[in-house]
Homo-oligomer: A and B are copies of this chain.
Amino acid sequence: MAFKTLSAANAAALDKDLMSVGAFSIDQLMELAGLSVSQAVYRVHPPSRGRRVLVACGPGNNGGDGLVAARHLWNYGYTPTVYYPKQSKNELYQRLATQLKDLSVPFTTDFSASLQETDHVVDAIFGFSFSSPLREPFPSVITALENTKIPVTAVDAPSSWDIEKGPPSEGPGAKFMPDFLVSLTAPKPLVGWFTGRHFLGGRFVSPGIARKYNLDLPEYDGVDQIVELGKNGEKL
């Protein structure tokens, strides 16, 4: 790797530190992470290019970030549709889903059909805690993402990719290359295989935590919740 990244194990440990030493609640962190994702989508695909955004949410924290992003996108004037096939019983995720229903954001159960009727896709299926194999219904969803011409923004990781080893060597995801990636808190090793536009989000890492994990984070501009990175991790 040309720049410092955060292993899957360290990403999990950093998240724990944010909530223990850092005293953040998961509500706060997810709100800010999802806000970052929504700002990246606005940057790469402003509403003038098409307001329809399909947000695919997995069962865990990555999906929660997607639910938050969908709400902010609605606030920005997009018309999001949410695909959330494995809804968590966790109270936080239930509340995030209710917040969307209160805005009359539609939830779809047919990913392929919805993919025919959108202008942009957010892949919030799996993040840094993913490990193979993909379980139903996600293999076909990943295959659809792999083959679509619609631009895709991935949250923290292109879903199906190994956090440290990149795309799988075969099967769903082997040829999946999202157009845009938003790394949260810090880039993971998989960015070495990623060829699209890369953003960093999650503007809540303290200098103490950055030092502990040997991170060399770029400066964000102004009030931005995202910063675009070049191939060597430098700020663009």
* Chain A contact residues, CB within 8 Å of chain B: 21-25, 27-28, 31-32, 35, 38-39, 42, 72, 75-76, 92, 94-96, 98-99, 102-103, 203-204, 206-208, 220, 222-223
Knowing A27-B28, A102-B208 touch, does A42 contact B223 (C-beta < 8 A)?
yes
**Chain B residues within 8 Å of A95, by CB:** 23-25
- Secondary structure at the A interface, as helix, strand, loop or mixed, is helix
- Report A207 CB to chain B, min CB distance, Å: 7
Nearest B residue (CB) for A22: B102
**Contact (Cβ within 8 A) A39 B223:** yes
In the bound complex, what is the Cα–Cα distance between A223 and B76 (angstroms)?
A: 6
Nearest B residue (CB) for A101: B23
Number of copies: 2
In the bound complex, what is the Cα–Cα distance between A168 and B217 (angstroms)?
A: 48
In the bound complex, what is the Cα–Cα distance between A208 and B203 (angstroms)?
A: 31
Nearest B residue (CB) for A98: B23
**Chain B residues within 8 Å of A72, by CB:** 223
In the bound complex, what is the Cα–Cα distance between A21 and B103 (angstroms)?
A: 11
**Contact (Cβ within 8 A) A222 B31:** no
